[in-house]
């Protein structure tokens, strides 16, 4: 047996124990802890003293059987190598501000994983869900509808209609704007690198935006697109592939800063000057982008703010506010630096 099991204070404290010691009814303890202003100052003081002295922590599980739990469930794609960590941070901060807890499960971009994760979360009867993409499978949508909980999707906001409400940017617009921006700086042959698009609407919309811009610009350059793994090594590989495919390529627009960073490092290895020999642009404005030398031209997206905003909107929905089908566009910004 481990030491924690023979510590003296092994009796489990309940509200009724605190109540008994304070000479009041259990419900009064409950009120003292959740709405102190409904209890007279003296009673409150006495109760809090006992709570403090005994180190009592109320059982949320039991409390959540009557009132709904102050828990928000969220599904996040793999955290590694992405800006998702910022979003989690934003959600976590917003939850803390409202006295909520974040129940986090991990999914990938597959519909099965999503469905499983949603089931796991709904089992806890959360106040709502935040999902880092569109809810994909019909089964999952139905489950959520049946459970009757609101959902905020952090996602591409173009095209599809969210279940309740989506928070995000138009990746299409952002990629379109960056492509136009690059053309405006005089680049003619513009390549596009992305990580595998499979099932990821955000990435798909970036590519579509890029293509639309190329078409609108009337540039005829053949196929200058490539998909690589989501690592900086992938960015390095993309540079090799594209410059081999078209040695006259002038700029590479990467669908993430990490890829852009990898491409920049590959140029270093080759001794290529940026942006003279080749220019590079990224997406996301990670800390990395501004600190790399040369600093990387990129699209700034406020992921932390998206996380916070998602929680705020979710709680509004949960409070009964209508949000059906709405999308909240948090916008983006082209950050022009030295790399392109």
Partner DNA sequence: CTGTTAGCGCCTTCAC
Partner DNA sequence: GTGAAGGCGCTAACAG
Structural element, H or E, at residue 270 = helix 257-270
Q: Restricting to residues 276-335, which ones interact with a copy of itself according to CB under 8 A? A: 287-288, 290-293, 304, 317, 320-324
Nearest-approach distance from CB 114 to DNA, in angstroms: 22
Q: Restricting to residues 98-137, which ones interact with a copy of itself according to CB under 8 A? A: 101-106, 119-120, 122-125
Q: What are the tokens at 14?
A: 């309940």
Beta-ladder partners of 297: 281
Torsion 254-255-259-265 (CA) sign:
positive
Nearest-approach distance from CB 287 to a copy of itself, in angstroms: 6
Site string for DNA, 12-31 (x = CB under 7 A): x-xxx------xxxxxx-xx
Q: Which does 24 bind (CB under 5 to 8 A by kind): DNA, a copy of itself, none?
A: DNA
Nearest-approach distance from CB 191 to a copy of itself, in angstroms: 20
Q: Restricting to residues 156-195, which ones interact with a copy of itself according to CB under 8 A? A: 163-164
Residue 215 binds to a copy of itself (criterion: CB under 8 A): no
Nearest-approach distance from CB 19 to a copy of itself, in angstroms: 18
Contacts 24+ apart (CB under 8 A), 153-156: 154/87, 154/130, 154/306, 154/307, 154/310, 155/131, 155/201, 155/202, 156/201, 156/202, 156/204, 156/205
Neighbours of 55 (CB within 10 A): 8
Of residues 41 and 218, the one with the C-beta less far from DNA = 41
Q: Which does 34 bind (CB under 5 to 8 A by kind): a copy of itself, DNA, none?
A: DNA
Q: Which of 20, 147, 183, 241 binds a copy of itself (CB under 8 A)?
A: 147
Angle of helix 26-34 relative to helix 15-22, nearest 10 degrees?
100
Q: Which does 42 bind (CB under 5 to 8 A by kind): a copy of itself, DNA, none?
A: DNA
Nearest-Å Rg of the Cα atoms of the chain is: 26
Nearest-approach distance from CB 328 to a copy of itself, in angstroms: 15
Residue 39 binds to DNA (criterion: CB under 7 A): yes
Q: Which does 15 bind (CB under 5 to 8 A by kind): a copy of itself, DNA, none?
A: DNA
Q: Which residues contact 32 (CB under 8 A, 6 or more apart)?
A: 39, 43, 44, 47, 48, 51
- Of the candidate spans 42-50, 152-160, 204-212, 246-254, the one that interacts with DNA by CB under 7 A turns out to be 42-50
> How many angstroms separate the CA atoms of 323 and 317, rounded?
7
Q: Restricting to residues 199-228, which ones interact with DNA according to CB under 7 A? A: none
> How many angstroms separate the CA atoms of 164 and 322, rounded?
8
Tell me whether strands 326-329 and 165-168 are parallel, antiparallel or unpaired: parallel
- Of the candidate spans 142-150, 171-179, 194-202, 327-335, the one that interacts with a copy of itself by CB under 8 A turns out to be 142-150
Q: Which of 1, 67, 80, 319 binds DNA (CB under 7 A)?
A: 67
Q: What are the tokens at 85?
A: 């960590």
């Amino acid at each position: 047996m481990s030491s924690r099991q023979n510590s003296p204070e092994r009796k489990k404290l309940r509200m009724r124990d605190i109540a008994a010691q304070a000479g009041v009814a259990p419900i009064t303890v409950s009120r003292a802890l959740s709405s102190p202003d409904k209890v007279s100052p003296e009673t409150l003081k006495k109760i809090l003293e006992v709570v403090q002295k005994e180190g009592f922590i109320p059982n949320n599980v039991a409390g959540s059987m009557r009132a709904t739990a102050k828990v928000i469930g969220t599904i996040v794609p793999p955290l590694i190598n992405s800006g998702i960590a910022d979003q989690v941070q934003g959600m976590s901060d917003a939850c803390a501000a409202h006295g909520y807890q974040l129940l986090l499960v991990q999914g990938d971009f597959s519909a099965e994983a999503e469905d499983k994760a949603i089931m796991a979360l709904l089992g806890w009867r959360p106040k709502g869900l935040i999902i880092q993409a569109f809810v994909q499978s019909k089964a999952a949508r139905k489950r959520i509808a049946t459970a009757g909980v609101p959902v905020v999707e952090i996602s591409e906001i173009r095209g599809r209609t969210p279940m309740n409400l989506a928070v995000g940017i138009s990746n299409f617009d952002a990629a379109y704007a960056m492509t136009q921006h690059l053309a405006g700086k005089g680049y003619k042959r513009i390549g596009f690198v992305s990580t595998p698009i499979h099932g990821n609407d955000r990435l798909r919309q970036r590519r579509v935006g890029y293509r639309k811009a190329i078409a609108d610009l009337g540039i005829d350059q053949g196929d200058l697109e490539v998909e690589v793994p989501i690592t900086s090594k992938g960015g390095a590989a993309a540079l090799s592939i594209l410059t081999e495919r078209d040695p006259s390529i002038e700029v590479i627009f990467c669908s993430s800063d990490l890829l852009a960073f990898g491409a920049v490092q590959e140029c270093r290895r080759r001794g290529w000057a940026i942006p003279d020999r080749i220019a590079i642009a990224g997406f996301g404005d990670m800390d990395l982008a501004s600190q790399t030398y040369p600093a990387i031209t990129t699209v700034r997206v406020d992921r932390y703010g998206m996380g916070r905003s998602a929680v705020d909107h979710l709680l509004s929905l949960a409070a009964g506010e209508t949000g059906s089908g709405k999308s909240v566009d948090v916008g983006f910004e082209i950050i022009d630096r030295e790399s392109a």
